[in-house]
Amino acid sequence: MAGSGTEAGGVAAPKRAARRRQRSEANTSPKGASKRKKARNTTEEDEADEEEVFGVPRAMAEEQRDALGMLTQTLAQLTERMGVSEARERERVEIEREQLELEHERLELEWRRAAMEERRMTDMDHISMAMHRQFVEGSLLGMMRREIAAAEQEEEKGADGDDEDGMVDAEGEDD
């Protein structure tokens, strides 16, 4: 039987036999036995004494475990609160950004209104100046026309008076 690992006479194959021998020697070595004995003694002492876990009394280990549990729970709550706080902060920043945009738009409209008002005032000044100019020019022109008309009238009166006197003078005779 080749699959069983034994030779025809029922003797184990030489390699496998050597390995088994090494394993059995390791298990029966004084170090291995003392380790097993130590392990047994520790468990017996744990049951007899205060029950230690990794060299720490069980009560202290349980307190540390409870504290670790509370810290874990607090950390989870803190993480959740920070997430909520961060979401609120994002909302607050978004609202402030929107308010700033509205304020910017309001100021832009105010600036445009002021520019339109200034343009209207400038236009009104131009219209006023044009009207004043027309009035002044009209007044001056009217005065000049009146003066010209008055001067023409005086010339006509003077010419008429000279004509009466001029007739006498034209004849060369004195009246």
Buried b (16+ CB within 10 A) or exposed e, 104-140: eeeeeeeeeeeeeeeeeeeeeeeeeeeeeeeeeeeee
pLDDT of 162 over the 50 cut = yes
pLDDT of 159 over the 50 cut = yes
Domain boundaries, the chain: 72-165
Quick one: pLDDT band at residue 37, thresholds 50, 70, 90?
very low
Written as one string, the DSSP assignment of 122-150 is HHHHHHHHHHHHHHHHHHHHHHHHHHHHH
Q: What percent of the chain has pLDDT over 70?
A: 61
Question: Do the Cβ atoms of 10 and 16 come closer than 8 Å?
Answer: no
Instruction: Please compute, for residue 70, the number of CA atoms within 13 A of its CA located in the half-sphere on the CB side.
Output: 6
Instruction: Please compute, for residue 89, the number of CA atoms within 13 A of its CA located in the half-sphere on the CB side.
Output: 6
Would you call 102 helix, strand, or coil by DSSP?
helix
The pTM assigned to this predicted structure is: 0.36
